[in-house]
Amino acid sequence: LFWNAFLRPAPSCTNNYKDSGEEGVDCGGSCAPCALQTLKPFKSSGVDIVYGDGYKSVVFDVINPNLDWGSESFIYKVDFINPDNSLAGSVSGESFIYPGEVKKLVNFGINFETKNIIKTEVKFSDFRWKNKSGFYVPKTSLREVEYNFDDAAKKIRISGILINNEPGVISKSEILVTIENNLGILSGASQTSIDNVPEFGEREFLIIIPLVNF
């Protein structure tokens, strides 16, 4: 009686007890779904540094191995490590990911020296998980995509048309372009945003990437 009255924590979602109608320990019922306790961690692969006209960016893949859960938003951080294991610098940002998606991210925030980098470490945090039943992937497509090289300016211009195949407005779309040289090495990356694509409508886009490594 003394334990129940005075020592046992009050019902909550963080007291390490199954109470308050929970389906498991601190999960289910009024707490977060129990499935969140068994989610697999995000993975990353293919961390590359690409050089633009006066800037450097990092490009990498985010892999969500959870087929039933996506994250409406999450924070990522990429640390760049020197040969002596000191931190050369970091970049961070926010994104979202669908259930089971492999997503390519680009961040243009590198403003530190990278020539001596020996490894990178990618970390993820601040997830806002959502079941796949609550995610809806808009149906979009591209057409008339063209690649034009400007040898004089040493740039490549990628243009095309984004098509909204939905009976509703798409409030924001992001188009990411990555290019490789003839050796298969990632040589450039850029992206653009298109707001308020009307239902069954179209929007033109243009992305310009400097050919630094070509």
Mean pLDDT for each 10-residue chunk of the chain (214 residues)?
58 69 69 84 91 84 95 96 94 94 92 90 95 88 92 87 94 89 84 93 92 62
pTM of the entire structure? 0.80
| Burial of residue 47, with CB atoms counted within 10 A of its CB: 0-12 exposed, 13-18 middle, 19 or more buried | middle
pLDDT at 10: 64
Residue 34 · residue 52 · CB < 8 Å: no
Q: What is the pLDDT of residue 115?
A: 86
Which amino acid makes up residue 59? Answer: V
Task: Give the per-residue pLDDT at 5.
Answer: 54
pLDDT at position 119 is: 92
User: Tokens at residue 135, please?
Assistant: 């995610």
The structure tokens listed for 76 are 């990522």
Q: What pLDDT shows up at residue 137?
A: 85
Whether 161 contacts 202, CB under 8 Å: yes
Residue 23: predicted pLDDT = 60
